[in-house]
Structure formats: structure tokens, C-alpha cells
Structure 1
Amino acid sequence: MFKKLLLIPILAIMCICPLFPVHAANSTITNVKVVTRNDAEVPFVRTVLEVTNTVKPKAVLDNTGKYITISLPNTQIADGVAHTYTGDKNVISQISLAQHMYATDINIRVPQVLNKNDIKIFSLSSDYKNGRPNRIVIDINDKSGTVKQWRQWQSKQQYQGSGAADDQNVTAYAVPAYNLNNSYSLTSGLKGKIICIDPGHGGSDSGALGAFSKEKDITLAISMRLKKLLEQAGAKVIMTRTTDVDVYAPNDGAVEELQARCDVANAAGADVFVCIHIDSYSTPDVGGVTAYYNNKTPYDLGLAKYIHKENMKATAFPDRGVQTANFYVLLHTNMPATLVELGFISNPSEEKTLNTDAQQQNFAESICQGLSDYFQNSGK
């Protein structure tokens, strides 16, 4: 029996289970899904447990760094739900569910030594409108460095596994091809430009949760304000969503949802793509604004740089800089793109500010000005 020593911090959107039994309504695990997410800067394996009622987990990492136990009090396993699961072997060795009298334990064994920063656990509330129950989400980072990330595809050819196109034993992975035709405009002025705005998350995906608000609502509010400003300047604005909906479909997979957002921009022949997000972290003291880009074109850095410069004039949040990333939407759009993280919803002060009309308007105006500066300087 391994010795459990290190408590894993739960994200701000969750409460750690009390030391004594709670008298909450019983909950039942009705479904378990395990997927590999390779659209993030650090790939990870995500385990999602669907539960009938709200559960407050307690997580423990043992002193070897290779065993994690998440205890769900007053929770049972539904009939027909398997008790063992496997994930990407580089990240997860085995996941097993153990039923006890007053709780269910999720025991996860991993091949690489983990620390508390490699594990994130958070809850998502039910969304009955879109058919989504309460969920417990467990993310474990890839420490092996071997999980394949989505990368820039250098030609219109499909990626052929190891590259042996004539080898019938090699699987041809159908991936979106990067369009090498540079149809985007770099001329001065916003008038006539086609600008795609992507409010992060939406519908069945709430994004990060704060103490009283959801990421998807803040990103949409800022995006709609930005739309109005850009249209007043004469730009044609393409929105991936204008209401609280999934872009692809409710309960869809990560790649399908992200590709759908790229498809909106690509089909419109947008000149730029701006993806708006709100960040989150496991401790409430972290905050600030970041702009991400990928060098798939010579102009992605310029787009991120000009927008970030104006964003920092529009807030008192800390400056986290302009950083490179392999985010899916940055790689699979056919035009210069940036993803901005406009503060941390897990930071109580920043969450409060992000929910004010003034800050949302300030960010909308700063992004609009950053776009104007980008075109004024021909993307450089």
C-alpha cells in the first residue's frame, strides 16, 4: 500500500472535501471518458467522469509521484460503468475506480514522476439545455515529451505517419492542411478588412470557472463590443459565435470544435483571426494578460505584438508578454492569428474587474486599436 503524502491543490472553481463526512445528496458516476488533448502547449490526458449530482473531490499524490487518488464522497458507480480504463501509455498507465461504503476512489497510475503542477482537477456544472451533466475533470500533463502535438503542416499533402507514403502499413492521418495561398490583406486601414473574432468556449463548454462567472460569458461580451467597434470603422466582422453556443455541436471533441472555428475564418477568407480567452490557474494570486502567436506566417508575431501593446494600456493587470504557442487555432487558420488571454478568472480581483462594463469596453477598444496599428504597419 503506497503512502499518500502530498495534497494536490484543486482549481479555484472547486472546494476541497471536508475532513468529515458531508451530508450531501448521493451522486452516481454514470459515464467515464478518457481522451488525449494535444492542442495545448503541453499535451495532456483528460479523464471526464459524468456524475448525477455535485461532488466535492479530495485528491492525493503519493510520495513516489506515480499514484494519484481522487476521492468522491457519497458517490457510487452505476451499473454498467467499467472499473478500469487506459489512456495514452506515455501519460497514463491505468485508471481504476474503487467503490467504498461512503465514497468512490479514482486511482490513477502514471509512468512518469509527477508533481502537483502536472495535475489539474476541476468541476463543470450541469448544462441541461445542451444535455451535459455534472462532470469531474482530471487533467494529467505529458511528462514524457513524446505525445505528438498538432504542428504546422508544410504542404497541402496529408501527413503520412512516419513519412513512408508507399508503406501500406503506415496510417495516413487525415489532418487539416495549411493553405499556402496568402490571400490575406496587409494594406493600411480597417475599412474593408475581413476580421474573424473567436470568443473562446461557449455552449456546452463553459471554459474556466471563477467564483461567480464563466469564461465563455466574458469572452463573448468583449467580442461583441469589439465587433461593434470594428464595424463602425468599416471592417467586415466574422464571428465564430454570437450567442452561447458550441461552434461545431454540443458535447463535441476538442479537435472538431477547434477546427470548426478555423473553418469559419478560412471559409470567409479573413485577413486576421483573433481568439479571445480568459486564463485560469490553480492558485488565486496569479494574474495578467498574455498574447500568443505561432510563426506560421511572417505576420503572426506582429498581430500579437500590436494587440498586446494596446491591451496593456487598457488594464492594470500584470504584463505576461507575447509568447509563442502551438495552439490549434493558431496553426490551422490560413491567415495571421493571435490568441489573447485577458486576465485570470481564478484571480478574485481580476475576475471582478473582468465582469465590469468598463474593462470589457476597454479591452474591446484596445484590440480594435491594435488591429488598426497592425494594418497601419503592414503586419510588421
Structure 2
Amino acid sequence: MSNIEIIISSFSIDEQQKFITFLQKKNKRRDTKNIDLFKLILKGKTSTKEICNTLYGSLKKEAYYTLKQRLYTSLIDFIANNKLQDENSTDMLLVKYILVARDFFFHKNYKAAYKILDKAERIAKEFQLYTILTEIYHTKIQYAYTLPSININDIIISFKENQKNHLLQEELNIVYAKIRQVLKTVNHDNENFLDFRTLANTIFEEHNISINNSMSFKSLYQLITIVSISAFANKEFIKVESFLINTYKKLEKKKENNKQLFYHIRILYLIANTLFRNKKFEKSMHYLNLMHTHMLSNKKKYYNNFKFNYLLLLALNKNYTNNQNEAIQTLEKIISKKNIETKTALDIHLSLLMFYFQNNQLKKASQLFSKFYHSDKWYIDKNGIESDHKEKFNRNSITPRIKKY
């Protein structure tokens, strides 16, 4: 899939309509075909020839590529505007508070300035916005001399505590990036197996990271992801299960979880997946149901981002709880969809193949297997290798070769 197709496929129904309205307001000419192109891509049309014939009646490649580039630019503008209005509404509000407070200080309206900074501090703490808190404390300290009632030492203590939390968040972000990078390397060369538990501990010590309740929602999400990666690499899902669930309970208590809906859904998926691997299918379904509830919230904002992963894990749970026909039906409905990420599509094909085989539907299994034609290396690049770390990858093993990938 091209970048533009990936972006459009991630839009919710509400976002699709908003983007069309955005284009209608932006278009100065009636003959602009950007909306028509958007709708064609939305329907899964990807053939240059087919799109050109629909839009122009002939193969006008240059006009099509120019139009496609303009549509891509409009998509970027639309997403950026939405993020400024939605995701960063709290951040923007607090920046306005700081600017207003500084103006009050300039005009010697000191009490009003501190009152608005106190309000900004409470909100920033609630959402653990460490960068904005730094600006708030910087301003408070700078003008502490203006009011005798201000205890500058208390502000300095809060400022230094915020610095520690901010540094912790940044260090954990570095650890997260390092471990994800190593995982990518291992996926491409399974012979260079690394002990992820030792690796994670080493990197944690290197960056002086310790787990505490003051960690932000994003930091705890990254921590859960790191632990999940370690469990996947070492096949030790049982050992991390309680940690993941207990950490999630800490996240549930944080008021910022509504603001970080994407991370919330992702964490629920990681927990549900871990429970599935531990053969705790009812518990896995419980967290999948929570995941689905959050996918539907905020006008299904992130529904398309997680839809196929959710349905795949749902089908796998059904397959192992005596609901094999439902599992097969779930995947059969989506297997022909064109807007699925390659890795997820491969997993869907492999799972359905397994369901057919287990359910003695050998003809369907054979038909699906016959569509596998890519090389081993291609699949390793796309999906990595999930195997016992003590054994080298067997080139003679059955390797998926799926048509259209």
C-alpha cells in the first residue's frame, strides 16, 4: 500500500466526511477532482489505469500524479489541523494561560498572574505535561519576588521534581527506541539471538530507570511494550502477565487516559494477546471487549487503526473455545480486504489456514495454501520468525506464500 492509501484507510467514517468537507472549502474550482480521487481510493481502487479512465476518460498519468500529490498534501494539512484542535487542545490552552500570566506580570497584575499559573499547574500535573510544567515553574520562579506570600523554595522543589519526571520519561523513550531497534535486527537475522530480559535490564541500569507511580501514561505504555517484547522473545508470557495487568490498573486511575486513547487501546490489545498465549481465553476476551469499547469511543476515532488486529485475536480466541465456525466466519469476512497492513494480512491468512486444517476443511485449506508463492526471505522480512530460540530456522519447513503480497 502507498502512503496515501494507508492514511485514507485509517480514517473513521466521521473523519472521511470531515475531510470531504475540508476539500470542498479548499477547492476554488468546481472541476477539481481531488474529492473524486479520495472516494476512489477509499473504495480500494489502486490501479493507475482504472483511476485515470474514471477521472479523465483516458490514461493521463501526469495529471493523475499531480492530483495525487495535491491530495496527499491536503491529507497532511487536514490531519495536522485536527491534531491541533483535538489532541493538543489542553496543551494549547495551557500555553495561552502562560502567555496571559506573563502579560499580567508585565502590567504588574501579580495576584491575577499567579492565580492563572496555579490553575495551569493543576491541569498540567493532571495530564503530566512535563514540558509545559517547566515553563510554568520557570515563570513562577522568575516573578516570585513580586509577592511576599510566595514561597520560592516550594516552587523550586516542585520544579526539580518535575525535572526528574521529565528526564525519566525521556530516558524511557530512549530505552524503548533502543529495544525496538534491536528487535528489528533480530527479526531479520534469527541466528543472532539476544536475551531480551538481560538486554532490557542492562539498558534500564544504563539509563538509571526505576518504575514508580509518577510515570506518565505514555511512559507506562512504553514500559508495557518493552516487557511484552521481552516476553515474546523469551516465550515467557506467564512471567509477565501479572506485571502487565497490575501496570494497566495503575493506568486506569490516571485521568490522562482519556487523552491518550490510542495508547489505552494498544495496551488492552497487548494484555489480551498475552492472556491468549497463556491459554486464558476468557480473560483474554474480557480485555478484548474492553478494547472494542474504547475503539468505539470518541466517534470511533481509532477504530480503523485496530480493527483487523482486534478481529484476528477475537477469531483466535473463538477457535480455542469451541467456536471454530465463528472463528472461520470472522476471518473469511475480512481476508479479501485490500487496506490491511501486510504483516496483519499474513497473520490473518495463516490463522485461517490453520482453522481450516483443524476443522477438517482440507479443500479450503489447500486452496488457500496454493496462493502462497513468495520466498522464505520475503516472509522473514515482512513478518520475522517466531520459533524456538534454541533452534535455527529450518529452510525446509512449511513457509507461507500468499498471493498478492
Say yes or no: TM over 0.5: no
Q: What TM-score does the superposition give when structure 2 sets the normalisation length?
A: 0.22
Q: What TM-score does the superposition give when structure 1 sets the normalisation length?
A: 0.23
- When Rg is computed on C-alpha atoms for both structures, the one with the higher figure is 2
Could you say which structure has the higher helix fraction?
2
Could you say which structure has the higher strand fraction?
1
